[in-house]
Structure 1
Amino acid sequence: MEDSSASFVGNRYWVLRHGKSIPNERGLIVSSMENGVLPEYQLAPDGVAQAQLAGQSFLKQLEESKISLDKVRICYSPFSRTTHTAKVVAQVLSIPFDSPQCKMMETLRERYFGPTFELKSHDKYPEIWDLDEKDPFMGPEGGESADDVVSRLATAMLSMEAEFQRCAILVVSHGDPLQMLQNIMHSAKQQSGGDGGLAERIQMSRVASVLSQHRKFALLTGELRPLV
């Protein structure tokens, strides 16, 4: 396949937010691992259709970039809605879901918003995002801050970089983690100095002025976007 689009990573990455889920339809925040893996919180029928379209779009982009399917890796959150999305995409690409090309990564899980917000109305999200803008190092009570999420996403990126070489990696995750991942990688591209490696670039980007801006990278359900 072609060289990576950025010299500080050894793979090419795309992000995909899960398709419309049953919690999305019901207007519920489902962010704990305990609840998130339950089958009743997987994709709604509309979400399955979104995942199929995303898979077709990804396949087209792979073909346009002359990337063979054996170079594709699908890394996904263990939540039922992301696992369901990843399975649908794998089917579109004719990649066996139980093969080494598909990898569940706990570090890609949903942001935990804490017990105050769990299973409550998703109308509460703006309260959390307001908090992120004021102080991205402070999370909702009992939940993860923006920086907490970025810390484990950095671990995920470094793990993928260590495990895969010159691959096309589809990261299937959730709204907040993926906008934070895009935000931090956008900043990482701008960093210079030092050895210029991914870990250092991410660390340099973990400052309030960057972390507080993640909402600029919001994704719709089922939306596919190149990362780096």
Structure 2
Amino acid sequence: MEQTPLFLRNSYWVLRHGKSVPNEKGLIVSSLENGTLEKFGLASEGFNQARLAGELLLKEIDEKKILLENVRICYSPFSRTTDSAKVVADVLGISFDSCQCKAMLELRERYFGPSFELLSHDKYAEIWSLDEKDPFLPPEGGESVADVVSRLAVALAAIEAEFQGCTVLVVSHGDPLQILQTILRATKKLASSNGIDILSRTKEIMVHSILSQHRKFALQTGELRPII
């Protein structure tokens, strides 16, 4: 894993939730109201994917001699991400009810708006095409890339304020995790002082050329990745 930049107090891994019922049905489920419904949780294959991801993370933790007490799991409150985080916590031997596991509203799925909610996954192509043209322009009634950047930066700042010297697993969704990787990789490259906080650094990289390229960091369902 890459060395953690000096402006961050923790190291980060990301996990996209395992294959979900919406994935199986080919549906976009992006609103908080729908996403937290139990019926839109993980599919059977998704539980297996989450378990495999947990085993891989446990192996990495053991190899790097990271103490389990220094591991944190921060997750989106959607059913599919909560299910995934629970499985990983179980594999690691961490109590899901402990302070080591934290649901964060800011890590929720990107809301694609009422024009896309509960429609076919095929509609994602339209959204991503819009993102490339203007990452500051949201789908009607939904969130733009820039909107998601802003709330993810708040989440990162909160994590950095609460934890120090921890290995943090962020369990979230496709678009937020693409965007999160974009933020962290871009802020790492800033030539400015390492002392600048994550919120200030994020403001510096809020430009079209960076935000429009978030698809480069796409993750498959159940995919685990170290990012910084």
Give TM class, smaller chain: over 0.9
Q: Is the 8 A contact 1:11 1:169 kept in 2?
A: yes
Q: Is the 8 A contact 1:4 1:10 kept in 2?
A: no
**What are structure 2's unaligned runs of at least 5 residues?**
none
Is the partner of 2:33 in helix, strand or coil? helix
**CA deviation digits over 1:108-148, x for unaligned, max 9?**
00000000000000100010000000000001000000000
Q: Is the 8 A contact 1:115 1:143 kept in 2?
A: yes
How far did residue 58 of structure 1 move?
0.5
**CA deviation digits over 1:173-222, x for unaligned, max 9?**
00000000001111111102254332222111111110000000000000
**Larger deviation: 189-198 or 27-36?**
189-198
How far did residue 5 of structure 1 move?
1.8
Cα root mean square deviation, aligned: 1.3
1:167 is aligned to 2:166: yes
Is the partner of 2:138 in helix, strand or coil? coil
**CA deviation digits over 1:129-175, x for unaligned, max 9?**
00000000001000000000000000000000000010010000000
Taking every aligned residue pair, what percent have the same amino acid on both sides?
63
How far did residue 4 of structure 1 move?
6.0
Q: Is the 8 A contact 1:21 1:47 kept in 2?
A: yes
Which residue of 2 is the match for residue 12 of structure 1? Answer: 11
Which residue of 2 is the match for residue 108 of structure 1? Answer: 107
Cα distance between partner residues in 1 of 2:219 and 2:183:
15
Which residue of 2 is the match for residue 31 of structure 1? Answer: 30
1:221 is aligned to 2:221: yes
Which residue of 2 is the match for residue 184 of structure 1? Answer: 183
Cα distance between partner residues in 2 of 1:85 and 1:158:
23
Q: How many residues align?
A: 227
How far did residue 225 of structure 1 move?
0.3
Aligned positions of 1:4-153 closer than 5 A: 5-153=4-152
Q: TM-score scaled by structure 2?
A: 0.97
Is the partner of 1:107 in helix, strand or coil? helix
